[in-house]
Amino acid sequence: MPAYVGLWCVAGLLAVAVAGLVVGRRPFGWAVVYGASLLASVVGLATASWHLLVGSAPATLNLALGLPGIGASFRLDSLTAFFLIVSNLGGATASLYALGYGRHENSPLRVLPYFPAYLAGMNLVLLADDAFSFLVAWEFMSLSSWALVMANHNAPENARAGYIYLIMATLGTLTLLLAFGVLAGPEGNYAFASIRAHQPDTLAAALVLALVLLGAGSKAGLVPLHVWLPLAHPAAPSHVSALMSGVMTKIAVYGFVRIVFDLLGDPVWWSSLIVLAVAGATTVMGVLYALMQHDLKRLLAYHTVENIGIIFIGLGLSLAFRASDMGLPAALALTAALFHVFNHSIFKSLLFFGSGAVLQATGERNMEHLGGLIHRMPRTAIAFLTGCAAISALPPLNGFVSEWLTFQAILVGPELPQWGLRFMIPTIGALLALSAALAAACFVKAYGVVFLGRPRTPAAGGAQEVDQFSLTAMFFLAALCLVAGVLPGPVIDLIAPAVQDMVGARMSPQAFLPWASIVPIAESRSSYNGLIILMFLAASGTLIAMFIHRCATRATRRGEIWDCGYPDPSPATQYTSSSFAMPIRRVFGTTVFLVREKIVMPRPGDTRAAQFHVKVVDPAWRYVYGPAARGVLRAAGVLNQLQFLTIRRYLTLVFSTLVILLLVVAAWR
Amino acid sequence: MALIVEFITDLVAQGLQMFLVLAVAPLVLGVTRKVKARLLRRIGAPVWQPYIDLWKLMHKEAVLAHNASWLYRVAPYLAFAATWVAAALVPTYATGLMFSWSADLIAIVALLATGRFALALAGMDVGTAFGGIGASREMMIASLAEPAMLLVVFSVALIAGTTQLSSIAAAFATASIGLRVSLGLAMFAFVFVAIAENARIPIDNPATHLELTMVHEAMVLEYSGRHLAVIEAAAALKLVLYFSLLACLFLPFGMATVDKSFDAQAFGVVTYLGKIFALAVLLPIGETAVAKMRVFRYPIFLGGAFAAGALAVFLLFVSRGF
């Protein structure tokens, strides 16, 4: 029954997409499209939550669509239901936000039809139960999001972003296609049920893992496949950016979990080593790169890379424990990863909504042109601050809980028998600790430069608070950040059925522990209680405030800025985003990003302005994509000669190819 | 009935520890200043001067810049609350704190990060170069010190088999942990982190003003009056918190662990105060022996702490025996 409802939601969204074509230019067209999308997402959310809460059995459904003889099968199990919650929560809040934000769209026909189609594509990926419909849905999701990235196609950087995105998406789908080919084996049965039934040999499993890491990793943004992400995510309208960063990367995580945990069968221990190595690099590179940005949306997009790294650390740990038949730690690590999936989808959507609000109010994405918005957009400022604190893993908010769970899983590491993992896991722990601290620095910078200080341009000085719909969406997500951080037990229990299905074990029920604390393994080992921490913080904060107000003088005077006695009225004397990041750039940048700083100081008497240039190079471009692009060009140059052959030579070529292939087949048999 | 009595005694013990650290914090700061002054051949202010300073600040008018937002006024209280809660979760004279299960050592580190986050944002609020430089450098130091601190947490947690600070302290005080290579490395790393986090020489100089070398003081430069009093109290509290952590992790003798009788607790209080003031004397001695570092030499200092912590954790991952 719920699978039907899920598919009806998808069908409804597709209908809305068609309707978007019709009503796009009408007045209130946006309201119709986003309102209907909101409704469909809420229904999807309710269905998925109901499925998880009731704990019903997996529901399957076979439709006579797609390839003849195979059809398209769909299935709603606990993993799908959990990710449906993530995707539909994101879809619902993005639609709500867009009810306000979307009215300012310049070319509605470039957004309105694709937005519901994109939501439908993401839901369809989650529901698919055979390789064919999975890949079709995956490609549908990629293409509709590509159309949204190209919504503002006149900007040259957007066109470039769209081009790179298209290449990376194609590559991803291609590798996933190959992965399913290997999984299906010579019988070619593409239904997930029959793939699940037979265990591939070690070589095939390794191949599938590598292909899935490429395919799902390119969509999720694993280093070095992340390069498209900070270009494409900011290019789209902000509510779509939120979906791309907050939800679509999670769909990629779903693809990885579905294939590697569910379809591939029992893992070998070194597969986790590969996943952990990639995840560790992704985490630190992502946050360091985010720190170097001065475009707010691009900073957020790079930060998604970091969070994907944290999620994959959890997944890698889970694989490691599962390979050694340690059920409970495997469940703990997977719970941590899925909890972070949930958390990141919430606060990254919130932060992208906030950046959209800033963009709408000021027309600026460049942080160096903003400042002081806390006075002009006070409500947005509160919601954005909550998101910043949550993503920086500060208690009592939700980001801390999932990182804490990951740390707890890391501390079980010494019980693993493999030496490779015993060396890898502490390294990962150190990298995770480093990235958590750097994330806090990154968001102090983002918030401090955009919302605090004095406005750096007239646009920032004249900003207005955004509409009620946008604010409602942001405050809803901010409240969720707090609730999931203070009451993590119910969230863990919501994840537990999916974890049970994937690793065959689950964390003990957490929702009804006394005082709403969470106990990952045993009470003697570790426990955390967000509620008590919040109460403690509130109590001690109130106590000290009361004491101060009772015993201290309340005399307050507004005066000039002190600044050591030399205040300068020019807002240019404030710290900027580049200057804030400078110490960290000095510490990490020269080795990691090959940062080059150049100062042009005119001679005395010369009236030209002094200049300061910073060049930051993403090593992925220099060491992976640059050589790859040059290789492709060179190969194309060589192969170009094939276009100018005579007919005799073409015939010879065709004939010899045939002979070679026949020989290969003969040798194979 | 017995249950209620136990509940109330636990609550009293918890409250007592909370207020003990708060009451003793300015005195500890006064002792470090006094010792430092004596080492520099000055007479120095009396040891209770920090109390007088706090009282004075509380009765001075608070001057806010015209463009200071609500965040600027809230941040001191938030930073203080986070530090105080973290301090309340560190066992001082007795283990088995009532609320120790609500947050473990990792959460304590994160609570301190919350306080720092609030103050760094407040430093950016008015929009001055000094506030920005302070916030930026504070976050840079934190981004190097926090991972080192978490590695120390990992190593003690791996030895004790728990991240619960009360249980770690109890394990270290009662079980025969003995001298370990990993603990030595962890302590080395911890001391470095504590110096950096409390803005002491060679990382930062709490005594300077109007110099580009200062970090923490630059960040809170705009504060005055009661807000500054709260920030100063939070800083003193943080110092005592790190002393208490050092005492309960690496010098756990004398704590009331199993025996909760009045005598054991009284002995615990006396040894705790002895340890804290011994550390308060040692810190300025160390400070006067070294010179303040250039900002961009911090990574070497804190990288050393990180390396020591990482080595400790690696050794423990190889074998629990180290």
DSSP string, A400-469: HHHHHHHHHHHTTGGG-S-HHHHHHHHHHHHHHHHHHHHHHHHHHHHHHHHTSS--SSHHHHT-----HH
Please check whether residue B146 touches A, CB under 8 A: yes
Q: Which residues of B touch A548 (CB under 8 A)?
A: 58, 77, 226, 229-230
Q: CB-CB: which of A437, A449, A525 is closest to B147? A: A437
State whether the Cα torsion A441-A444-A449-A450 is positive or negative: positive
Q: Cα–Cα distance between A277 and A270 in angstroms, integer?
A: 11
Mutate to test the interface with B, among A510, A527, A531 (most CBs of B within 10 A): A527
Q: Cα–Cα distance between A606 and A610 in angstroms, integer?
A: 10
State how far Cα B47 lies from the chain centre: 20
Helix (H) or strand (E) holding A556: strand A556-559
Q: Could B88 and A579 be called an inter-chain contact, meaning their C-beta atoms sit closer than 8 Å?
A: no
pLDDT reported for residue B211:
58
ipTM at complex level? 0.94
Peptide bond into B202 cis (omega under 30): yes
Q: Look at strands A59-63 and A72-76 and give their pairing.
A: antiparallel
Cβ atoms of residues A631 and A620 within 8 Å: no
> Cα–Cα distances in Å, from B96 out to A555, A636, B16, B124, B168?
43, 71, 13, 40, 10
Whether B291 shows a pLDDT value over 80: the answer reads: yes
Q: Cα–Cα distance between A134 and A114 in angstroms, integer?
A: 19
Per-residue 3-state assignment (H helix, E strand, C coil) for A112-150: CCHHHHHHHHHHHHHHECEHHHHHHHHHHHHHHHHHHHH
State how far Cα A224 lies from the chain centre: 15
- Residue B250 has which token pair? 């690496």
Q: CB-CB: which of B85, B164, B316 is closest to A537? A: B85
Q: Cα–Cα distance between A113 and A120 in angstroms, integer?
A: 11
Q: What is the pLDDT of residues B185-201, one digit of tens each?
A: 999 999 999 999 998 88
Classify residue A18 by burial, with Cβ atoms within 10 Å: 0-12, 13-18, 19+. Answer: exposed
Give the residue ranges of DSSP H helices in A150-201.
156-184, 192-197
Q: CB-CB: which of B61, B67, B163 is closest to A553? A: B61
Residues facing B62 on adjacent strands: A556
> Whose CA is closest to A245, among A446, A39, A87, A18?
A87
> Cα–Cα distances in Å, from A651 out to A360, A643, A658, A665, B5?
61, 13, 11, 21, 98
Question: Band of the pLDDT at B1, cuts 50, 70, 90?
Answer: low
- Residue A542 has which token pair? 């109130």
Gap between the terminal Cα atoms of chain B? 46
Gap between the terminal Cα atoms of chain A? 48
- CA of B234, closest CA in chain A: separation in Å? 11
In one letter, which amino acid is B9?
A: T
Q: Could B110 and A413 be called an inter-chain contact, meaning their C-beta atoms sit closer than 8 Å?
A: no
Q: CB-CB: which of B80, B229, B314 is closest to A426? A: B314
Helix (H) or strand (E) holding A62: strand A59-63
> Whose CA is closest to A405, among A323, A498, A342?
A342
> Whose CA is closest to A47, among A18, A14, A74?
A74
Q: Which long-range contacts (CB under 8 A, 24 or more apart) does B39-42 make?
A: B39/B284, B39/B285, B39/B288, B40/B288
In one letter, which amino acid is A197?
A: A
Whether B321 shows a pLDDT value over 80: the answer reads: no
Cβ atoms of residues A323 and A330 within 8 Å: no
Which residues contact residue B284 at a Cβ distance below 8 angstroms, ignoring those fewer than 6 apart? B32, B33, B35, B36, B39
Whether B257 shows a pLDDT value over 90: the answer reads: no
Cβ atoms of residues A537 and A400 within 8 Å: no
Which residues contact residue A105 at a Cβ distance below 8 angstroms, ignoring those fewer than 6 apart? A30, A111, A112, A237
Q: Look at strands B62-65 and A611-615 and give their pairing.
A: unpaired
> Cα–Cα distances in Å, from B177 out to B156, B180, B315, B321?
11, 8, 15, 10
- Is the pTM higher than 0.90? The answer reads yes
- Residue B46 has which token pair? 């009396």
Q: Cα–Cα distance between A9 and A76 in angstroms, integer?
A: 13
Whether B242 shows a pLDDT value over 90: the answer reads: yes
Which residues contact residue A228 at a Cβ distance below 8 angstroms, ignoring those fewer than 6 apart? A161, A164, A165, A167, A168, A169, A218
Q: Could A548 and B61 be called an inter-chain contact, meaning their C-beta atoms sit closer than 8 Å?
A: no
> Cα–Cα distances in Å, from B245 out to A200, B101, B156, B239?
52, 17, 12, 10
Q: What is the mean pLDDT of chain B?
A: 88
- Residue A400 has which token pair? 């801390």
Per-residue 3-state assignment (H helix, E strand, C coil) for A595-625: CEEEEECCCCCCCCCCEEEEECCCHHHHHHH
pLDDT reported for residue A152:
86
Q: What is the pLDDT of residues B93-141, one digit of tens each?
A: 877 677 777 788 999 999 999 999 999 999 999 988 889 999 999 999 9
Which residues contact residue A319 at a Cβ distance below 8 angstroms, ignoring those fewer than 6 apart? A260, A261, A267, A271, A272, A275, A330
Residues in chain A: 669
Question: Band of the pLDDT at B213, cuts 50, 70, 90?
Answer: low
Instruction: Give the angle subtended at the CA of A180 by the CAs of A179 and A184, to the nearest 5°.
Output: 125
Please check whether residue A438 touches B, CB under 8 A: yes
Question: Within 10 A of A92 (CB to CB), how many other CB atoms are there?
Answer: 22
Residue ranges of B 64-93 with Cβ closer than 8 A to chain A: 64-71, 77-78, 80-82, 84-85, 88
State whether the Cα torsion A171-A177-A179-A182 is positive or negative: negative
Which residues contact residue A75 at a Cβ distance below 8 angstroms, ignoring those fewer than 6 apart? A3, A58, A59, A60, A61, A127, A128, A129, A192
In one letter, which amino acid is A147?
A: A
Which residues contact residue A591 at a Cβ distance below 8 angstroms, ignoring those fewer than 6 apart? none
Please check whether residue B103 touches A, CB under 8 A: yes
Helices (H) and strands (E) in chain A, counts: 27, 5
Q: Could B150 and A527 be called an inter-chain contact, meaning their C-beta atoms sit closer than 8 Å?
A: no
Whether B210 shows a pLDDT value over 60: the answer reads: no
Question: Band of the pLDDT at B208, cuts 50, 70, 90?
Answer: low
**Look-up: residue for tokens 């990863």?**
A337
Q: CB-CB: which of A404, A571, A580 is closest to B127? A: A571
> Whose CA is closest to B313, among B194, B150, B109, B165?
B150
Which residues contact residue A385 at a Cβ distance below 8 angstroms, ignoring those fewer than 6 apart? A447, A451, B71, B121
Q: Which residues of chain A have pLDDT under 70?
A: 1
pLDDT reported for residue B174:
78
- Residue A401 has which token pair? 């809980």
Please check whether residue B22 touches A, CB under 8 A: no
> Cα–Cα distances in Å, from B196 out to A404, B202, B206?
24, 8, 11
> Whose CA is closest to A346, among A92, A537, A42?
A92
Please check whether residue B3 touches A, CB under 8 A: no
Cβ atoms of residues A294 and A365 within 8 Å: no
In one letter, which amino acid is A343?
A: N
